[in-house]
Structure 1
Amino acid sequence: MALARLVSKAVSACRVQYLYSSSHQCQLRSLASMPGLFKSGSYVNGEFVTSCSGKTFKVYNPANGNEIGEVSDMNVEDTKLAIEAAHKAFPEWSRKTGKERGAYLRKWFELMMENAAEMGDLLTSENGKPLAEARGEVMYAASFMEFFAEEAKRVYGETIPASPANKRAVVMKQPVGVAGLIIPWNFPPAMLARKAAPALAVGCTVVVKTPEDTPYTPMAMAELADRAGIPKGVVNVISCSRKNVADIGSLFCSDPRVSTISLTGSTEVGRILMKDCAPQIKKLSLELGGLAPLILFDSANLKKAIPDIKGCKFRNAGQACISAQNFLIQEGIYDEAVEAISVMVKSIKQGDPTDPTTNVGPLINKRGIDKVHRLVEDAKARGANALIGGSKATDIGELYYQPTLLTDVTEDMAIFKEEVFGPVMSVIKFKTEEDALRLANASERGLASYFYTSDLAQCYRVMEGIQSGMVGCNETVITGAELPFGGYKQSGIGREGGKYGLEEFLETKLGVISLV
């Protein structure tokens, strides 16, 4: 109990760091010195293996361009072996009780907590987020293992009173089978845990495809799963280069041994998976792109809102699907709010993510920074004002973009319609609540939304009127292991987290018994 309380307190504290931290004192450890966590092979059927072809691909540190190492470049044939291992392990794993499966997850959680500092260092090296953020994310990821270790015992069915007196009806919940999990580069440990933990809890086995930019942290998690004693074949984690991504995704869709797919990625990739899964009518859970508005009404408490905005916008250099992008400010407080936001943006320190004073690190790769540059240049060409920033920070490094505040943004600009995925704030002035809701709902996406008001009635009206799966009223910290995560419209299908996350990996079966 004492350990649980200590860990719970640590997770809560680090969840704040995960969102934003600039004061945590950290030093980066040598990757070579990590206790067995730095893995170059993929994890298949309980062993770290090289690709059948012997091919590898290089992984680079986005902060400085240095090569971190080479990892196995798995292809379709390698992935088939992983799927077969998961398929063979499924019957025995699914027959275990929820309590038994929960014990494995609990051990995995404890190992992640014990190795959080080392894993955070690894994440910073391959992703570029500041050390405190990275270490906080690992503990946030571990919280999903802890939560679903407990929920494994709470997968309930029910008895339904049947109309005929001689019948009894029973509803059972059963695991769907092998789950193909596709995780993103921006939060690899968190997304692996948020998908794998509920899948394992209910009795599914998993094959995880790691992101090509950040494969090392997921492999470290595979190593810890192995140390936790999770049986061979239950957890499989494969790495591949960009050239093999589409083929492996297509295999997940076409292989009948894979019963469900869970993706966190772009809306465009989600469409491809839906199309490829159609022939088999395969179960899908999609957490896709966002375009989150953040509304400041005239009654907003700016002393609360401005620090919240700092974390919500600039965490991971703005590379988060729930990062606020379009900032809608009511005309009555517009000048005051823009001035306060300007002071905040100017206070951000950008630089080496291993420096404990750094708030914002690099973007993940050249494609990422080119997209941010394109959207900002388009906005400026159409009349937006770069009040702060607005350019690449080439004096720091090739993949750095200045924390940017754009005003006079209009609806015809690409940056209003496309997810920027960078440290850029787009500001729009509005007059009425109706105007704010129209602007907030103008996107075809609806993952997260935020707004600030001191009017309780307005809080309920806007919370109900915004078309997004998650809404924060006077709050931007809206995720947690116990909470459902997912979007409306083209931001996805299904939910992750909480009891709702279990349903994505369960089938509902009806049993009717005749008594005569």
Structure 2
Amino acid sequence: MAFLVWLAGVVEAFAASLGCSGLQLLLVLSGCWLLWRCFNLKQVFGDVLSGHGGSAKVTVPAQGFETSRGTSESSESSEGGKARKFDYEKEWKTWPKESIPCWDPATLEFLGEVPACSEEGMKEKVRKARLAQQSWKTSSFAKRRYVLRTIQRFILENMDTICTVACRDSGKTVLDAMVGELTVTLEKLRWTIASGETYLRPEYRDSGLMNLHKTSRVEWEPVGVVGAIVPWNYPFHNVFNPMIAAVFSGNAIVIKVSEFAAWSSLYLGRALRLCLEASGAPPDLVQLAPGFAEAGKALVEDCDKLIFVGSVAVGRKVMESASRAEILTPVILELGGKDPFVVCEDATVDEALVQLVVRGAFQNMGQNCAGPERFIVYDKVYDTFCQKVADLVRKLRQGPPLGPEGPSVDCGACVHPPSLLNYQRLVDDAVQKGAKVLSGGKRNSDLGAQFFEPTVLCDVTEEMLIAQEETFGPILSIFRVPFEGRKADAEALRLANACRFALSSCAHGDETRAEYLCRHFEAGMASVNDVEGTTYLSQSLPFGGFKDSGFGRFAGPEGLRGLCHERSIVQNRATFLKPSIPPAIAYPASGQGEAHVVCGPSAPQILWIARFLGGIRLPPSSRTRILLGCKASILKISQVPFPFLQEQIVVKQTYHIPRYFTKVTHITLATSVSFWFKQTKERDARSQPVPLSIYLYVLVVLLLVAHDLRLSIDKQKVYSILRSVNVDFA
């Protein structure tokens, strides 16, 4: 208290010298501290002083990528001046494998063709990336932040073009592109720039009592060349997501882009190369390679670590290829999900909840890795929920996102033509088995192209295919929970967990109840009273699941460290400390030595001084407890570095033996005993020699100590134990 009074006086005196009150001074200092913490000014000043403050400006020429929302100049036209339509059914299978045809899913307008990366081409890209990484792995964190800030600035200054490119390549709406492509990418950049270094700096850890004179730390070493095989649902974010983590952790990266998102890779690849050049990083550090399965297989076998995002079937093939590589390739698999969205009986089914449901189900036309597909609704609110959700879905407007009515379009097209057939198969199977279609349920014939109507199914049950297979499309399936109370919670959890996927989940209702459900979902991520996607907006959290949803994580500290090798390092705290082997365990074994015994249930607590000074404590034998009825610890006092401390430990510390040892009231902490033992010459051939077993060491010493102290123990029992392992003693 006196110190606080003195400190207050000092603050008041200093404030008076500045012409203000002590309270005003504290408020100013608190504000400065908040600014320092919130805006990470220490990092900002450090980057400026190192010459890597701010960011570089990058201008990427469109080169045929239309910046306005009209017809692309790069598309081929027919003789009549109309844009050529691409016929997937007729042209895809017969198209030459040297190139990839590209078209707009919302209009079927042919956008051109992109060279397909061959197996040899992929190996060459990996080779260039490996050369670039040699210099990049030693770059400072300030330099890496400068590169990411340059990319961040490019995105902010070119959002309209990026959204247009993503919409033309995937058929999604501009709003879906802003939310799913740009927002999460910018948040990942912000978090990595602000916090990435914290999790990649050497981490010091407890050295333990045996290594008290040493420091122990973990260092994170870049793996080298990261390979990424990404899908077509988010053409922009799927490229930038692994790239940000790989570049900041000191790696190079080669990204195999899906053949159904190849068109946008031309623009993105050129933009990334210019960003790297403008910020002084090796331009070959990031390589984009659109291609088919052969290119992906070559990448798996040549890279140092692989990130794969896709289906379970292809994920299994990736693991097979990784196991056949010359050096095993570690993989991170994100294989999709069948996320549950539970609505409890105490949830308020209002406009806010219905909006969450519809946005979660139809964001990006349901083509999301982490997105609700199974809506598990309690019986009490089931009918109201179905009615309100169906009413809103019927109002959704569908059409080409870059057409004249683009700003008012709610739902765009689907990217993958074969998926449209799969959607219809799942809906037809559910209807045949008793489900009801409340909205949609078929392809949108009025629009043509690759449109499937936003669909709502109710009365879905477990035996339907749509209850188990990943939909990855615009179908909202509603399950009924026909119970109340705790029984309803148990049934909801059973339904939610009765699935081979375990990626994300959410529950809505009373806060305590919703949290309880989220903690018991079999899922890698969960959101309480919100939609699943909110977990991905927190880029400090790891993203991933288990079961058939894959393994490994990206995003958060785990995502950064997952692209590094862990190196454990132990080092002396001072240079004059030299390692040595204690005489008791030095080669050749002498067969004898000096030991000190402490008996009693509190012996481990008493020995902390000896451990602190570097003594060795051997674990007690279980048979010791049988013989003496208490714990025993062995301390090698000769290991204590200073002789006078040995004497203090032995003489000054005392310990009381338990009451049932009636003949002795107390002994010193350590009783010195000299002993030796030898192996019996006549050994049973079937028995295994135990020349220096720790538990025999304990038994022999305890026997001799007990003899010296005249303790009442069964010596014959001790002898029989020793003879059972063929050890003689004197």
Report the equivalent of 2:495.
439
Cα offset for 1:301? 2.1
Query: Which residue of 414, 419, 427 corresponds with 1:376?
Result: 427
Quote the residue 1:399 is aligned against. Answer: 450
Whether 2:243 is the aligned partner of 1:196: answer yes
* Alignment check: 8 A CA contact 2:440 2:453 kept: yes
Give the drift of 1:457. 2.5
Structure 1 CA distance, aligned partners of 2:150 and 2:569? 35
* Of 116, 139, 146, the match for 2:190: 146
List gaps (5 residues or longer) in structure 2: 1-34, 40-66, 76-95, 579-730
Note the C-alpha offset of 1:438: 0.4
Q: Could you tell me the percent identity over the aligned residues? A: 27
Letter in 2 for 1:287: E
Q: Which has the larger radius of gyration?
A: 2
Deviation at 1:66, TM superposition (A): 1.1
How far apart are residue 219 of structure 1 and its match? 3.3
Question: Which sits farther off after the overlay, 170-179 or 128-137?
Answer: 128-137
Look up the match of 2:294.
Answer: 247
Q: Which residue type is aligned with residue 129 of structure 2?
A: A
Does structure 1 residue 468 correspond to structure 2 residue 509?
Answer: no
**Secondary structure in 2 matching 1:502:** helix
- Runs of 4 or more above 6 Å deviation: none
The unaligned stretches of length 5 or more in structure 1 are 6-25, 35-52
CA distance in 2, matches of 1:159, 1:450: 36
Please report how far the alpha carbon of residue 165 of structure 1 lies from its aligned counterpart in structure 2 after TM superposition.
4.8
CA distance in 2 between counterparts of 1:27 and 1:221 reads 17
Q: Does 1:321 align with 2:377?
A: no
Opposite residue 494 of structure 1, the aligned amino acid is G
Greater alpha carbon shift after TM alignment, 225-234 vs 96-105: 225-234
- The aligned counterpart of 1:337 is 385
**Correspondent of 1:352 among 387, 400, 425:** 400
Q: Which residue of 2 aligns with 1:276?
A: 321
Q: CA deviation at 1:473?
A: 1.5
> Would you say 1:28 and 2:57 are equivalent positions?
no
Contact 1:182 1:210 in 2 (8 A): yes
Aligned partner letter, 1:478: T
1:59-99, Cα deviation, whole Å (9 max, x unpaired):
01111111011111111011111000011111100010111
Number of the residue aligned with 1:261: 306
Secondary structure in structure 2 of the residue aligned to 1:333: helix
Name the CA distance, whole Å, in 2 between partners of 1:233 and 1:399: 36
- Number of matched pairs: 469
**Which residue pairs with 2:125 in the alignment?**
82
* Higher mean C-alpha displacement, 136-145 vs 280-289: 136-145
Matches of 1:358 and 1:74 in 2, distance apart? Answer: 35
- Per-residue displacement from partner, 1:324-373 (whole Å, max 9, x unpaired)? 11111100111111111111111111112121111111111320101101
**Distance change >3 Å, CA 419–CA 193, structure 1 → 2:** same
CA distance in 1, matches of 2:97, 2:421: 33
Q: Is the Cα–Cα contact under 8 Å of residues 74 and 112 in structure 2 kept in the other structure?
A: no
Specify the code of the residue in structure 1 equivalent to 2:356: D
Letter in 2 for 1:467: E
Matched, 1:55 2:98: yes
* SS state at 1:306 partner: helix
Contact between 1:306 and 1:341, CA under 8 Å: does it hold in 2?
yes
Q: Is the 1:305–1:474 Cα contact (8 Å) retained in structure 2? A: no
Shift of 1:113: 1.4
Amino acid paired to 1:147: W
1:110-121 equivalent positions in 2, closer than 5 A:
110-121=153-164
Give the corresponding residue for 1:413: 464
Partner of 1:97: 140
Q: Which amino acid aligns with 1:460?
A: E
Q: Does 1:496 align with 2:544?
A: no
Note if contact 1:145-1:193 (Cα within 8 Å) is conserved in structure 2.
no
Once structures 1 and 2 are overlaid, which stretch shifts more, 307-316 or 396-405? 396-405
The one of 496, 507, 514 aligned to 1:451: 507
Describe the superposition over 1:253-304 as per-residue Cα deviations: whole angstroms up to 9, x where unpaired.
322xx11000111111111112221243322111111101111111112222
State the alpha-carbon separation in 2 of the partners of residues 30 and 388 from structure 1.
Answer: 32
Paired residues of 1:112 and 1:224 also in contact (CA < 8 A): no
Shift of 1:456: 2.8
Which deviates the most, 55-64 or 272-281?
Answer: 272-281
Q: Which residue of 2 aligns with 1:107?
A: 150
The one-letter code of the counterpart of 2:190 is E
Q: Shift of residue 125 of structure 1?
A: 0.6
Mapped to 2, the partners of 1:171 and 1:135 lie a distance apart of: 39
Q: Aligned to 1:307, which of 337, 347, 355?
A: 355
Which one of 527, 530, 535 corresponds to residue 478 of structure 1? 535
- Deviation string 1:468-506 (CA, Å, 9 cap, x unpaired) is 111112111321233321112110111121222102101
Q: 1:233 to 1:27 in 2, by over 3 A?
A: closer
Aligned to 2:704: none
Deviations 1:136-183, CA, capped at 9 Å, x for gaps: 423432332333233443212223325235544332111111000111
Taking only aligned residues, the RMSD between alpha carbons, in angstroms, comes to: 2.2
1:173-203 Cα offsets, whole Å, 9 max, x none, are 1111100011110012112222110111010
Is the CA contact 2:500–2:548 (under 8 Å) kept in the aligned structure 1? yes
How far off its partner does 1:447 sit? 0.8
Match among 155, 179, 185 for residue 232 of structure 2: 185
Q: 1:12 matched to which residue of 2?
A: none
Structure 2 length normalisation: TM-score?
0.62
1:209-228 equivalences under 5 Å are 209-228=256-275
Deviation string 1:103-136 (CA, Å, 9 cap, x unpaired) is: 1111011101111110110111110001222234
Aligned to 1:41: none
1:406: Cα distance to partner?
1.0
> Does 1 or 2 have the higher relative contact order (CA < 8 Å, sep 6+)?
1
Write the distance in 1 (CA, Å) between the matches of 2:143 and 2:176: 33
State the distance in 2 between where 1:183 and 1:463 align: 29
Cα offset, 1:223, TM superposition: 2.0
The code of the aligned residue for 1:221 comes to L
